[in-house]
Amino acid sequence: MLTTLRRIVLEFSQEAELQNALERMVYNVKKAMKTDCCSIYLADYHQQHFLLMASDGLAKTSVGETSIGFSEGLVGLVGQREEPLNIADAQQHQDYMHAPEVEEDDFNAFLGTPIIHQRKVLGILAIQQKESRHYTENDEAFLVTLSAQLASALANAEVKNLLSHQQQKNQGVKQLHGIAGAPGIALSEIIVCQPQADLAAVSLKKSPDSQKQLLRFEQAVEKTRIEFDVLSSQLSEAIDDDSLAIFDVYKQLLEQASLGHEVAAKISKGWRADSALKLVIEHYISQFEAIEDSYFRERASDIRDLGTRLLVNIQQQAKEELELPKEFILLAQDVSASLVAQYQHQGLLGIISLTGSNNSHAAILARSLGLPAIMGVNALVLGQLHQQQAIIDGYSGELFINPDEGLIREYQYLLSQEKALTDKVMEVAQLPCITQDGRAIEVLLNAGLSAGFEHSAKLGALGIGLYRTEIPFMNRNCFPSEQEQTQLYRKVLQVFPKHGVTMRTLDVGGDKSLPYFPINEENPFLGWRGIRITLDHPEIFLVQVRAMLRANQGLNNLEIMLPMISGVEEIDEANRLINQAFFELKAELTKDITTELMSARNEDGHLTLQQAQQKAQAVSAKLVRPKIGIMLEVPSVIFQMEALAKRVDFFSVGSNDLTQYLLAVDRNNSQVANLYDAFHPAVLNALNSIAQQSAKYLTPISLCGELASQPAGAILLLAMGFDKISMNGHNVPRIKWVIRHISFEQAQNILNKTLTLTTAKEVHSYLNEQLEVLGLGGFIRAGF
């Protein structure tokens, strides 16, 4: 029967039209189960009924016409109970509903099972037979298994056919759902951008003239590099922050020392330029797609975008210019950062990508540009949407096609509110983040893509609460040298010379493996990562710490943070290595400066060796050992706070990972992502406990994570006693406005009540209610 099951599901999935798929499926089920009738009903939540969509056995005229209310008949009972219903004589059952138009008077036996996808009943699959009997356990097991396998395929098929089916019925189109990639609202016409070249379509061929092929590739590289320079220049007029670094990454990959070298090597072995490019790009894509961490997995999209642009120039295709209206929403299979850059100054109002997540560079750029974006709206057909009117809601991830006048008016009102709110919050961007009764909390920046943080500084960030040093390690084909790291870290530290910059040591391994340092594990989230890998490789750790210390000379605004700490032994070993790096560097500086002074002493020779050494020691004394802190993201640290506080200068909670580990939920797994919620009572109580213990042991505490960037989250963290919160630059003014319009006493009252609630749903409801009471209701949607 397993073979039969697979065949039925495969046929259903491969059918382009939903109605055809349903009709073929009921025919196959009836035949496989040797019964007299098979029917499928789909749920319509707007009308609150199940509609008969296909049947092999019931009257053909009733298909598409007969509906059964959610609380009516045996079909409704299956939906209500969310479990199979096996009845020998259905017509004698108390819930049986007679519908003469379906012509089922001859049927007695009934077996129905719900089709459920992500806790939502999509429909009912039912079989019937003239003979009065209970279906066997094997029959029931087959139907239940088939329904479970059909659920995902049916969910995708419904979305694919949503537009055409609804338009045929002249009904308003209900919203489609994706991933909220960047906050905001856009109402406009959709313009579909199709790829101009397809690497997958390139056939692998060799050429007898390698020099000619190499010249083709080099010319394509140069043309692509110029295109990226133009795009980066255009973008820099609109934004000036670290999201622009993607174009530096693209250009680095084009260099001979990186991807360009690998393509050239393939060409030298006889491959044509396009074939060599295909081999190298697809290899990189497969490497990145195998990484479990969502941020790094999204880099596969960047590599694919780079490869496509190179292929266009290798094939010397003329770029087709889209006919653009004055304002539009861009839709593509995979919206890339370069596509955003290409269209952002031509009337682009929003972005829809059928693939990707909120970690894609397109989403990052969209947030910097203030463009709403929805990612991962899969299972749509591009051609159906070109030039359709749409509304995208970047807060909720909802997409509306051909909205009616009522919906348009509603969103136009929301847009006007949003603009007024944005203008309002910018008034406090440069003011202190302090409550009405004098309680202060520092608002810092999360960064790491490049050193260009001036834009975020203008938004009012007082420093960097989290600088992710692993990004420069990712954009290479080998570990960066001490000198390279020093130059990079120096640029970062110089952006906030009067404020602290917290740099996290290399946080890779397991779920974020480097291309040149691959790690394969069965359970990477609980594996070899963060401090575990750098302590196992002190040669990597020492070089990075030395680079940080060198970069900090004369600035003294560096703080070093250790990731993924789970016990005191790791801190002790890390501190030992940091001290080793510090004293080694201090001795080196003294020796180097002494040698330099002695070689440049005055002609009279008045500068003695002892004097030179004293001057050198005075200079090296300016090398300051920075504060050392740890990230609290592994639940075990909650129970070791006293011992940890004796060993470090500060704590910083990584709320994203802490939430993930506390709730045992992989937030990148769509099957369980809805269970991931930083407002879960367990998470909030853990954070409150951490804050109380930090205060008890007189250790400063900060938080870097999505919770800090949400107005309600910031209020709770303020009340708990967090000293600093860190977020992306876009949210800094919003959070400052919220904090400046509440008293610390009000925040504490809200926290005390919140900590008594037992479900995340209750927490969200209560906090939204309190924001309304405080006159901050406009920030409920803005709390992205």
Task: Give the residue carrying structure tokens 């491959």.
Answer: 271
Which residues on adjacent β-strands are paired with residue 627?
559
- Compute the Cα dihedral for 199, 200, 202, 204 and give only its sign: positive
704 is catalytic: yes
Instruction: Dig out the tokens for 11 from the structure.
Output: 């046929």
**Catalytic annotation, pick one of 49, 361, 680, 730:** 361
Residues 515/501, Cβ–Cβ less than 8 Å: no
Which of these, 310, 226, 225, 222, lies nearest to 274 by C-alpha position? 310
Burial class (CB in 10 A: 0-12, 13-18, 19+), 342: buried
Which of these, 671, 757, 679, lies nearest to 716 by C-alpha position? 679
Instruction: Dig out the tokens for 29 from the structure.
Output: 């089920």
**Catalytic annotation, pick one of 37, 38, 433, 704:** 704
Q: What residue ranges in 509-626 does DSSP mark as E strands? A: 558-562
Crossing angle for the helix pair 245-254 and 299-314, nearest 10 degrees? 60
Residues 501/467, Cβ–Cβ less than 8 Å: yes
What's the number of CA atoms in the CB half-sphere (13 Å) around residue 379? 20
Find the helix or strand (DSSP H, E) in which 302 lies. Answer: helix 299-314
478 is catalytic: no
DSSP string, 723-756: SEEEE-GGGHHHHHHHHHTS-HHHHHHHHHHHTT
CB atoms under 10 Å from CB of 309, counted, come to: 21
Rounded to whole angstroms, the Cα distance separating 759 from 679 reads 9
Rounded to whole angstroms, the Cα distance separating 12 from 161 reads 13
Rounded to whole angstroms, the Cα distance separating 73 from 55 reads 17
With left for phi above 0 and alpha for psi between -120 and 50, is residue 450 left, alpha or beta?
Answer: beta
Rounded to whole angstroms, the Cα distance separating 143 from 111 reads 9
Q: Which residues are catalytic?
A: 361, 704
